[in-house]
Amino acid sequence: MKFTLNQKKSALFIVIFVVAFLLISALDRRIRTDDNAAIHKQYFDSLNYVSVLFLGDSHTATSVNMEVSPEGWYNFSYPSDNAFDMFAKFLYAQNQHNLEAIVLPIDYQMVTQFRLKNRNMCKSLLLSSQKDARTVFDLNFFEQMYHNLRCKFPLLIKEEREKFMTAFIQTVREKFGVPKSEESMIFSPYGNWQFAVQQEGSIKDEEQYRQRAEEVVRVQIGEFAPETLILDTYARFIEIAHQQGIKVIGVRYPLDPAFLEFMGERDVSLIDVAVSTLPFDEVFDYKDSYADNTEYFQNPDHMNTKGSESFTRKIQKDFKKELEL
């Protein structure tokens, strides 16, 4: 069988494309080690004892510091995790440990449309059995296979391609001596998420900082109403935990003074009312507990290491007093 020149060119193009894609995928795994859910899972699997499990997104991840936490506490949060990711992690964790309590975030962005954007199931499916995937995502066997296949090649997913490009550019910059961005996060050997470059209030550009606070409030909260799908997922999640005798604690994490100022211009009453209907055993609202401590924040909605150490000691006292945890 003879091939035309055009057919040969097409075949060569396909081969080059596939080889290039595989090489870039391998590079992606190499340079994005700190943004790799598999490493986070591997660390969790090495733990012998977990009694209190913290779940959430980057707000929780950077607020609860494992280096000063009591034995048995673990922060299983991950940047951009949503209600479905937390649900999957809980199901995974409760099969391995006798949990006494789980701590869920009730920050405003967690229950609005913001946390439904760019949903990526890969982190959760890495932890999920077929049964758990059906419980969390309502996926049948073939749908789960399809999503697992996509997750094997994350660059097929737009969100992952964007993360790769950001990491690639940062890697090239570092090769030329440019330090990591203050927004770069790393996963430490202690199970902590930390910012690679720690920033404190005294060295921040005040004008840029306030501009960022205003933008973050606009994007994360805006005029959004509470999202019914997320609230229903929280409710199912809490019900299953209660059936197993596990306490469920709601926590609203600390916010920087600039964030609080701009948030005060928004009406979040609908979100507050919706969250109040969820059957938590206890709720702790710390959003303004560091309203006079800008130096504890990396940026308007994330704590730095100094702040996370202070906050973790604070919740340890509160949990012990109110919940005997």
For residue 215, is pLDDT > 50? yes
Question: Are 191 and 268 members of one domain?
Answer: yes
In a domain, residue 162? The reply is no
Hunting for tokens 């926590």 — which residue is that? 251
CA 50 – CA 228 distance, rounded (Å): 31
**Distances from the Cα of 180 to the Cαs of 143, 196, 258, 277, 303, in angstroms?**
38, 7, 25, 42, 18
pLDDT digits (tens, 9 = 90+) for 136-148: 888 788 887 877 7
Q: What is the pTM of this model?
A: 0.82
Could you tell me if 26 and 40 lie in one domain?
Answer: no
pLDDT of residue 52: 95
Query: What total number of domains does the chain contain?
Result: 2
Report if residue 126 sits inside a domain: no
Question: Could you give the maximum distance between any two Cα atoms of the chain, in Å?
Answer: 81
- Name residue, tokens 């910012």: 195
Specify the DSSP class assigned to residue 227.
P
Compute the average pLDDT of residues 261-286.
Answer: 90
Q: Which of 289, 304, 83, 285 is nearest to 193 (CA)?
A: 304
Query: Which structural domain, as residue segments, surrounds residue 15?
Result: 1-31
Most confident segment among 46-50, 113-117, 174-178, 308-312? 308-312
User: What is the band of 34 on the pLDDT scale with cuts at 50, 70, 90?
Assistant: low
Q: Are residues 98 and 13 in the same domain?
A: no
Q: Among residues 266, 258, 271, 270, which one has the least CA distance to residue 301?
A: 258
- Whether 92 and 17 map to the same domain: the answer is no
Concatenated DSSP letters for 3-63?
A: --HHHHHHHHHHHHHHHHHHHHHHHHHHH-GGG-HHHHHHHHHT-S--SEEE--SHHHHHH
Residue 136 resides in a domain: no
Q: What is the CATH number of the domain that holds 237?
A: 3.40.50.1110
Q: Determine, yes or no, domain membership for 172.
A: no
Q: Is 126 a residue whose pLDDT tops 90?
A: no
| 194 and 301 housed in the same domain | yes
d(Cα 81, Cα 120) in Å, to the nearest integer?
9
Interior/surface letters 67-78, b for 16+ CB within 10 angstroms, e for the rest? eebeebbbbbbb
Question: Based on the domain organization, do 222 and 240 belong to the same domain?
Answer: yes
Residues 199, 306, single domain; the answer is yes
Residues 16 and 66 occupy one common structural domain = no
Confidence of residue 248 (pLDDT cuts 50, 70, 90): very high
DSSP reduced 3-state for 186? strand
Does 186 lie in the same domain as 93?
Answer: yes
283 domain residue, yes or no? yes
11 lies in the same domain as 42: no
Q: 220-238, pLDDT tens digit by residue?
A: 876 668 889 899 999 999 9
* Cα–Cα distance for residue pair 304/296, rounded to 1 Å: 6
Mean pLDDT lowest among 105-109, 274-278, 317-321:
317-321
| The dihedral formed by the CA atoms of 173, 79, 61 and 136, expressed in degrees to the nearest 10 | -160
160 domain-assigned: no
User: Could you tell me if 48 and 24 lie in one domain?
Assistant: no
Residue 201 has pLDDT above 60, yes or no: no
Q: Is residue 225 part of a domain?
A: yes
CB-based contacts of 135, cutoff 8 Å, min separation 6: 87, 91
Does any domain span residue 286?
yes
My answer on whether 211 and 250 are in the same domain is yes
